[in-house]
Structure 1
Amino acid sequence: MSQREQSRRFLRSDAWKTLDFSATPQALGVAPPPLEKPAPPEMARVSLPGPGTWRGVEPLSVEAAIAERVTLRRYAPMPFSLDELSFLLWATQGIREVLPGGNARRTVPSGGCRHALETYLAVFRVDGLEKGVYRYLPLSHELLVLGSRPDLEDALVAATRKQVFPGRSAVTFAWTALPERGEWRYAEAAAKLIALDAGHVCQNLYLACEAVGAGTCAIAAYDQELADALFGVDGKDEFTVYMASVGKKPEE
């Protein structure tokens, strides 16, 4: 099978015909993977303003958000507030309700409610945050501080295959996949579902940006090894699958 044929097969739904779902970890009684990647308790965290407390988030109809959403690669130099960033994180991966059995209702759909993505941030201009790399902890609605990096702009540009605009953003989102979460229920069929889930998450970011006077640009062309290294993931059991740079809309 050629590489093109393999790529096309990934888009098809053939896996459902051949997989033995009686042999999945779920069917065998294995406990599901955790809802959230564990975080060392000694690492610094930043509490985020919660739903209902955000300042600077404008009421906006769904119709208006869809009509006005735009891919934006040029950003104004003004920073985001912590409230605005908190809103974008909640809109893309926030938890509405933790359910029994290792599931949670979030602000985005996910195949089988598996939610196999984690959210990382390269922060440049957010009031109250140092420039650096962070991970979102949706269960507690906090940021885990992963560390500062003086060359973060250059490292992000290199990781996005020399695209300049991510290094000029206020913040760039990166979503990693932990395939085990989906494979627990769907075995090999999970791969396509995880890719679809990343699209759901990024579209929510596009729409949510309209409520804070911002725009985003989804990034699918990136250097896998450099991106994984930048966000501190192993590239095997967790790896980058999608990115998006975000910034305020310029005056013009």
Structure 2
Amino acid sequence: MRFDLKFFLKDTIRKMVDFSTTPQNRGFVAPPLQEPYPPGAPLLALPGPAGGWPGIADVPLAKAMAARRSRRVFTEAALTPEELGFLLWATQGLRKASGPAGFRTVPSAGCRHSLETYLAVFRVAGVAPGLYRYLPIEHALLPEGEVENLAAAVSRAAFDQRFVARGAATFFWTTVPERMEWRYAEASYKVIALDAGHVCQNLYLACEAIGAGTCAVAAYDQEACDELLGVDGDREFTIYLAPVGKVAAGATGGES
């Protein structure tokens, strides 16, 4: 049986929602800006924007936009901590926290920012290979544990697209829909998908400043990704991923 899934792309749902019944309008406290973590957990601090991003090229925006490509071939070079910190800040960095809202480097419907960033780290100087979660408030990495044969697990979670595990790190974005549902109820899901697009485009542009490339990946094994990241697949689940790696000068990749 075929369903008319085009409905998801329309904003008709907004006319069907009784917004007076949303958790926000019923007086419920907004969900936190990021998922909590255990007290005393060891965090890996990242270089941040306060220092002015030394070592990161000042690439004109128009040049970055013109150079942007989907790149699937990477060198064996590692990212520096400054480069990783820059990419994470560019995609989910917190500019200012204001009560239940967090103003970040990317737009989000109602400033609700339902996304979490996980990293499969393969080659980052000073960072042990393994799984991490990015904490925007602290601008730090939270270790999520080691995975036996991480590259094979990441590739398998992306339907054996091997290039996904050949970069220096693979970005995974999950969504916690409750953060958006608090304000928008059933109208949340289209804008969550739009938000993911904002984030990944910033990753593409930021990569141009560090001599790196990326490729957005929307074809993945949902259950395998969720299991890899340790999320429950219901309250929080994978929505998007992208490998990042250094590229050789003049290298090209599949246009998209």
Q: Which amino acid aligns with 1:56?
A: G
Would you say how many aligned residue pairs link Structure 1 and Structure 2? 249
Q: Give the structure 2 partner of residue 93 of structure 1.
A: 92
Q: 1:145 aligns with which of 143, 146, 149?
A: 143
Whole-angstrom distance in 2 between the partners of 1:34 and 1:244: 25
Q: 1:250 aligns with which of 225, 230, 248?
A: 248
Q: Which amino acid aligns with 2:246?
A: K
Q: 2:118 aligns with which of 120, 126, 130?
A: 120
Q: Give the structure 2 partner of residue 78 of structure 1.
A: 77
Q: Give the structure 2 partner of residue 192 of structure 1.
A: 190
1:45 is displaced (CA, Å) by 1.0
1:233 is displaced (CA, Å) by 0.5
Query: What is the SS of the residue equivalent to 1:189?
Result: helix
Structure 1 outlier segments of 4+, above 4 Å: none
1:248 is displaced (CA, Å) by 0.4
Query: What is the SS of the residue equivalent to 1:105?
Result: strand
Task: Within 5 Å, give how 1:4-153 maps onto structure 2.
Answer: 5=4, 7-53=5-51, 54-100=53-99, 102-153=100-151
Q: Which amino acid aligns with 2:149?
A: D
5+ residue gaps, structure 1, are: none
Q: Give the structure 1 partner of residue 180 of structure 2.
A: 182
TM-score normalised per structure 1: 0.97
Q: Percent identity?
A: 54
1:222-241 per-position Cα deviation (integer Å, ceiling 9, x unaligned): 00010001111010000000
Task: Within 5 Å, give how 1:164-179 maps onto structure 2.
Answer: 164-179=162-177
Aligned-residue RMSD, C-alpha: 1.0
Q: Which amino acid aligns with 1:90?
A: W
Whole-angstrom distance in 2 between the partners of 1:145 and 1:45: 7
5+ residue gaps, structure 2, are: 252-256
Whole-angstrom distance in 2 between the partners of 1:196 and 1:234: 22
1:47 is displaced (CA, Å) by 0.4
Query: What is the SS of the residue equivalent to 2:131?
Result: strand
Whole-angstrom distance in 1 between the partners of 2:205 and 2:81: 18
